[in-house]
Structures are given as structure tokens and as C-alpha cells.
Amino acid sequence: MVVVIDGVTLHLAHPDELPVEWVGQDEAMRQLLAAWLVVDPRDTPMSPRLVGKPGVGKTTLAFAAARRLGRETYVMQATVDTRPEDLIVQPVIDGPQSLRYVASPLLTAMIRGGVAILDEGNRMSEKSWASLAPLLDGRRYVESLLAGIKVKAHPGFRLVATMNDDASTFDLPEYIHSRLQPQILIDFPEREEELAILHENLPFADEELLNYVTDFLQLAHVEDERYTVRDGINIARYSMKLMAGLPAVSSRAGWKPPVEFSVRQTLGEEALRYLRLA
């Protein structure tokens, strides 16, 4: 798909597809959708940031919220190497004497009125964030120096940034911090919610296995370990694969040894103490 802006042809990105459902924590969903509301013709949507430990479902929440709005969704993965041109337009060699301008997922969402998820945004440098400053306030545009164009956001465009609460990230510059509002905290789910998430992702799993993994996760949460429901899904999936691959062994020993092996391989030896308490 291509569009022409100020005489420049842009090749657009394709939307992302992720068949997810948001389970539990309805308040976080309510806050995100409220931030995106426009309550007056003079109003503009906000650009919230979802903050929490890795694996608690920040991207899932953003996807599910975009689906509720019926919008195309575009994920822009931020890294320490992300450059301003990566966020907007990249020139690509197209033949011996020509360039093709390729719009980023974020710019494509701006043009098409979709939702842009800037994933792990606090891994980006200040230089990259600076290129988005006019998009995050009332101006709602970005400029590409490489392509020589200014692109105004479609009225339906919405943006959310996810940010991991860990030490491997940059501090946001204050002028960006004040634009990425509100902050929506995503915490570990309650037991019933966590079990429901495991069911949603592993509907074919044994009920006793899922309860065992849920108890393990809940005990770890009490001690503020960084184990998340994503880890639980991986533990349960690998356990089932181990049992399917060694059915004779599983029939004699049950499912607890494969789960123990899966926890060790997924999270390390130190995580076994919570499993043995479950």
C-alpha cells in the first residue's frame, strides 16, 4: 500500500495481528480507553504509558484496547539502537539509481488512523524521543528530514507506549515524560485472574496443572519475584510437551517432575523453592 504526501511516495507498513484477550484488571483497560477519548472538538487524545514488570501483559492490554476501538494496530519495537529515522521514514535502495521511502509502523498508524504501540519505549535514547515531541502534544505531527515531509496525524490515530519497570532502560527526558500521560500501572494479577489468563492461553491444559502453576506464581509474587504469567504459560506449555514426548515416564511419575524440570529450565534453580511450596 502506498500514499503520496507532498509529492513523496510512501510505502506503508502492514498492521500487526495478535489474537489476544485481556483477562481481568478491568480498571487498567478503563483507564487506557479513557485516555484515548476525545470529549470535545477542541480536545485531543492523550498518549499514555503502560508501566510494569516484563511479562505482565502491557502489550496485550494495548492490543486488546485497540481491538475494542476496531482500529488497525501497529507495533513499533523500541531498542537502544532505534534512530529518529527508524521511527518515521527510512530510505531503501530500490534499483541502481532510486530510493524508496518506507513508512514506519508508527507513521503508518498516523496516516491510517490506527493505534501505534511503542513497545519498551524507555529503551530509546533522548534523540529518538525528541523526534516524536511534536506528535505527543497538541501539534500531532512528525517531520522527516530524510524525505522532506511533515505528516499530520489522522484524527483517529492513538498512541500508547509500554515501559518495563527494570534497570535496563533509560530515564525519560522531562519534556517527554510530561507528554506521555497518564501513567497506567500494570501489576501482577490476582490468583483468579492469573488462572483465567492461563486458561485463555492454554485451553487444552489439565486443570490441576494450571492450578499448580498458578499457586507457584502467586507465591513468587508475594516475595516480589519478577516471575510473570508469561513465565507460567511457558512452564505449563513445556511441561505438557515433555509429558507428550515421554508418555511412558509421565504415566508412572505424574506431571510434577516435568513441571519441576520446566521451572528449572525456564527460570533457574532458585525458582524451585516456590514450586515446592505450591
Cα 138 to Cα 133: distance, rounded to the nearest angstrom: 10
Residues 108, 201 share a domain: no
Instruction: Give the helix/strand (H/E) hosting 99.
Output: strand 99-103
Domain boundary (166, 185, 204) is at: 185
Q: For position 169, what pLDDT does the model report?
A: 63
Based on the fold, state whether residues 96 and 136 are members of the same structural domain.
yes
Cα–Cα nearest to 66, from 197, 173, 160: 160
Q: Can you give the pLDDT at residue 226?
A: 87
Three-class SS state of 178: coil
Whether residues 136 and 251 share a domain: the answer is no
Angle (nearest 5°) at CA 159 between 190 and 51: 35
* Residues 64, 21 share a domain: yes
CA distance 112 to 265: 43
Residue 100 domain boundaries:
2-185
The pLDDT, as a whole number, for residue 94 is 75
Q: What is the pLDDT, as a whole number, of residue 151?
A: 96
Tens digits of pLDDT across the chain (278 residues): 999 999 888 999 999 987 777 877 889 999 999 999 999 999 999 999 999 988 888 999 999 999 999 999 999 999 999 999 999 999 888 777 778 899 999 999 999 999 999 999 989 989 999 999 999 999 999 999 888 899 999 999 999 999 988 765 677 889 999 999 999 999 888 999 999 999 989 999 999 999 999 999 999 999 988 899 999 999 999 999 988 876 655 554 566 888 999 999 999 999 999 987 76
* Per-residue pLDDT, 19: 75
Whole-structure pTM value: 0.86
H-only helix segments in the chain: 26-36, 58-69, 84-87, 105-112, 126-130, 174-177, 191-201, 207-222, 229-245, 247-253, 256-267, 272-277
Same structural domain for residues 262 and 135? Answer: no
Of the three residues 123, 158, 185, the one that is the final residue of a domain is: 185
* 140 in the same domain as 102: yes
Query: Are residues 195 and 180 part of one domain?
Result: no
- The burial class, CB within 10 Å (0-12 / 13-18 / 19+), for 26 is exposed
Is residue 83 domain-shared with residue 151, that is, in the same domain? Answer: yes
Domain identity same for 23 and 133: yes
The domain boundary, picked from 162, 185, 208, lies at 185
Residues 75 and 167 in one domain: yes
Domain count, the chain: 2
User: DSSP assignment, residue 42?
Assistant: T
Task: Please indicate, yes or no, whether residues 47 and 139 belong to a single structural domain of this protein.
Answer: yes
Q: What CATH number does residue 162 fall under?
A: 3.40.50.300
- For residues 83 and 211, membership in a common domain is answered with no
